Amino acid sequence: MIDWNDNLLQQFGYLGLRAQQVVSGFITGQHRSPFHGFSVEFSEHRPYNSGESTRFLDWKLYARSEKLFIKKFEEETNLRCQMIVDGSASMLFPNDKNRPVEMQSKYNFSVFLAAVFMIIFRHQRDAVGLSIVDSILRKHTDTKSTFNHHQYLMGLLQNHLDNIKEQSDRETRLAETLHEVAERIHRRSMVMIFSDLFDIAHDSSELIDALQHLRHNGNEIILFHTIDKKFEEDFDFDNAPRKFIDLENNSVVKIRPAEVREMYRKKFAEMMSEIKEKSPQYGIDYVEADINLGLEGVLMPFFARRRMK
């Protein structure tokens, strides 16, 4: 059982404490993790310890090196998870300071979700890496399970949470950056993506191709579609004249929301339908992460479903 008497995250302020609170509420008392390793398969070597069974000694390697090594299998290798957080400017919506910190923007929500999973993986001694993307692969780390590495990743999340507004001119090129991450990560990894998927507006086929590339080599993909459903899907604005500003290219449109609401809803549904429909076909776990539901509202059904697998 996990020991939750851990004050490590206090140094990260509200980010760490809120994430720890969420994890404690869902996992405490549970003997079964929502995440599982992969099937048994030869993965790597480890030194042979005197007294161990010689069943899995690699004699071919011994012939070359005159040193004894045991074949290490995937079930002995902790899970590796690469987290990909979309840091493009569209993720700053709705920037509502009247909401709890984690719900103020899609980016905030994504960072807090990532922090929750980092805590879970740290307690399981699993290896975690972080990629922050926008128009380029802005930051990429290897997957490691050390105490210092987990601290470093939490620090990166906190730093980007504090500074993203100063970098708000960054456009979305999610497909391109996902291809780059796919070339760098270890095979048979878990990959978690936190994004509003607005790259679909440019070319949905490119994003699907990038997700398939990530799925290659036995990787498991969990796609958290971070969205503000009230405004972005339902277009639930009052009918007062409004000025809409594109957060990525600063273009401006002045309209009365009621005049375009039905057309907008139809176009938005069409834009997102392909990714929702094709994700199961390609073995991608699609999770709608509506920031209005809060962390618990998104994670409760997700964890419940994972434990049923």
Residue 222 has what pLDDT? 95
Query: In this predicted model, what pLDDT tens digit does every residue of 207-218 receive, in sequence order?
Result: 999 999 999 888
CA distances from 140 to 156, 264, 267 (A): 11, 36, 34
Residue ranges covered by each domain of the chain: 41-74, 80-308
Q: What percent of the chain has pLDDT over 70?
A: 81
Residue 110 has what pLDDT? 95
Q: Under a CB-based contact definition with an 8 Å cutoff, are residues 132 and 160 in contact? A: yes
3-class DSSP assignment, residue 97 = coil
Residue 74 has pLDDT above 80, yes or no: no
What's the topology of domain 80-308? Rossmann fold (3.40.50)
> Between 263 and 73, whose confidence is greater?
263
Residue 305 has pLDDT above 50, yes or no: yes
> Between 182 and 154, whose confidence is greater?
182
Question: How far is Cα 182 from Cα 219, in angstroms, rounded to an integer?
Answer: 9
The mean pLDDT value for 61-90 works out to 78
Question: How far is Cα 102 from Cα 151, in angstroms, rounded to an integer?
Answer: 20
| 42 confidence band (pLDDT: 50, 70, 90) | very low
The mean pLDDT value for 196-214 works out to 87
Q: What residues pair up with 140 in beta bridges, in sequence order?
A: 131
Q: What is the longest distance spanned by two Cα atoms in the chain?
A: 79
Assessment of whether the complete model's pTM goes beyond 0.85:
no
| 191 confidence band (pLDDT: 50, 70, 90) | very high
| 75 confidence band (pLDDT: 50, 70, 90) | very low
For 125, residues 6+ apart whose C-beta sits below 8 A from its C-beta are 78, 145
Residue 41 has what pLDDT? 44
Per mean pLDDT, which range of 33-42, 126-135, 265-274 is the poorest? 33-42
The single-letter code of the amino acid at 290 is D
DSSP category for residue 133: E
Residue 217 has what pLDDT? 80
Query: In this predicted model, what pLDDT tens digit does every residue of 223-246 receive, in sequence order?
Result: 999 999 999 989 898 888 888 877
CB atoms within 10 A of CB 136: 13
3-class DSSP assignment, residue 141 = coil
